[in-house]
Amino acid sequence: MLKRLHKFSLKKVMLLTALVLLALLVVGCSQQTSTAPATAPEKETSGDATQKQDTQAGGATPTKVSDTEIAQTQCTECHEMWPEIATWQTSVHANVPCLTCHKGYDPQQNKSAHDSGSFQKPIAIRNNPVSDDACRSCHAMQNRLATLLPDLIAPHEKHEAAKVPCLSCHRFVTHGNIAERKVTTRPEYSDYSKWSPQLAKQAAPQVMRRPNMFVCINCHEQRKVTTKCAACHYYPDRKSLPSHENPEWKVIHGREGRKDVNNCAKCHYDKESQKFATPSTGDLIADFARANSYCYGCHLKRPANHDGAWMSKHPQMAKDKGLQNCFACHDKNQPRPNVTGTYCNTCHWFQDPKPAAEQAQKK
């Protein structure tokens, strides 16, 4: 009995000893792990870093602008170029390096203007324009039959044979025409350091990057080529539109539009914009014209008959043609967007009619 009890006690002691040793071993390992210096993550090799940069914005590290990224190239070193960089970055040419199109351009040639602050605003490359060869390096003219709108007939091969430069139609595609439109002279876009892709999309939406119909019609008229709708558009509903070749078309087109504004919208309405301006002017065709860049782009220009003697002539002209014609380009009171800054009540005191409810209450 004593022998058996001794044997049991010995086993128990050995088991407890083993457990204590195991516990000490675990604690020792834990301490070693906690006190050992943390191994730093492997640094990106220069090759990997270069590869990562090359995948972003034309092969350079992006620059932070207002919590967004603007691509950085050699051109970005001058902040005056940021509007051009941001519009390029949001264009269909975003993956094409600047000097692929602007061949022969040396950024250093404008360094003195940058250093002295004597550069012209809005900035523009006034020499070495983009050449047709630069376009042909990516685009084949032989198979480009239709672009832009689904029904547009645009045989590039014929235009090339007629020696029509690519920029005649496509000069806005990358930068959204911000230089000619003097976008950077407007207060909301004048701080070059705030330009970002988001701002570029706002300042140069897609509608501003495509050739409008004026570009085509003006070129056809200069070259004495037909301007009939069916020459450029093959949708059947275009064939019923009134002829724009009437010499009086610029004078009568508003009256034609009032007959059916939907006829105007077949060609002159961009699906990316609103169809009618709000609040309404009370005239559907005026609402359409004020919402449409194709229309108001012309309406904002001073007509030829608004010459030095216009002030004395305009009362009779307004009487003969009706004030409605004036309101195509002007407002009675302080102008709303897309209307000329000259308004009637600068000199006159025209009163707006009282709302119908207010008139009824007075009665």
Number of domains making up the chain? 2
pLDDT (tens digit, 9 = 90+) per residue, 95-142?
898 888 988 777 677 777 778 877 777 777 766 789 999 998 888 877
| CA-CA-CA-CA torsion sign (133, 123, 215, 187) | positive
pTM exceeds 0.75 for this model? no
Q: Mark whether 109 and 222 lie in a shared domain.
A: yes
How many beta carbons lie within 10 A of that of residue 277, not counting itself? Answer: 19
| CATH code of the domain covering residue 212 | 1.10.3820
- Half-sphere exposure at residue 60, Cβ-oriented, CA atoms within 13 angstroms: 20
In a domain, 25, yes or no: no
d(CA 126, CA 117): 17
Give the range of the structural domain holding residue 320, as residue numbers without chain letter: 241-352
Let me know whether 223 and 129 are in one domain.
yes
165 shares a domain with 132:
yes
In a shared domain, residues 273 and 335: yes
Same domain, 245 and 225: no
Q: Is the pLDDT of residue 3 over 50?
A: no
Per-residue model confidence as pLDDT tens digits over 261-297: 888 888 787 666 788 988 888 888 889 998 887 788 8
Structural domain ending residue among the three candidates 231, 256, 288: 231
Residue 269 lies in a domain: yes
Specify if 114 maps to a domain: yes
Same domain, 98 and 191: yes
Classify residue 164: in a domain, yes or no.
yes
Is 102 within the bounds of a domain? yes
Q: Are residues 85 and 226 in the same domain?
A: yes
Q: Check whether 87 has a pLDDT greater than 90.
A: yes
The predicted pLDDT at position 201 comes to 92
| Domain match, 197 and 327 both | no
- Of 231, 251, 278, which residue sits at a domain end? 231
Domain match, 190 and 309 both: no
Residue 251 belongs to a domain: yes
Please tell me whether the peptide bond between 205 and the residue prior to it is cis, using omega within 30 degrees of 0. no
Q: Are residues 219 and 277 in the same domain?
A: no
Query: Do 225 and 77 share a structural domain?
Result: yes
Which pLDDT tens digit goes with each residue over 175-233? Answer: 998 988 888 888 899 998 889 899 999 999 887 888 777 788 889 989 998 887 778 87
Mean pLDDT for 313-326 is 86
The C-alpha atoms of residue 187 and residue 90 are separated, in whole angstroms, by 22
Instruction: Say whether both 196 and 74 belong to one domain.
Output: yes
Structure tokens at 185: 């002279």
Specify the pairing of strand 68-70 against strand 63-65: antiparallel
Residue 172 lies in a domain: yes
Residue 174 lies in a domain: yes
Last residue of a domain, one of 170, 201, 231: 231
Q: Which helix (H) or strand (E) holds 263?
A: helix 261-268
Joined tokens for residue 189: 């876009």
Hey, is 63 helix, strand or coil? strand
Structure confidence at residue 199 (pLDDT): 93
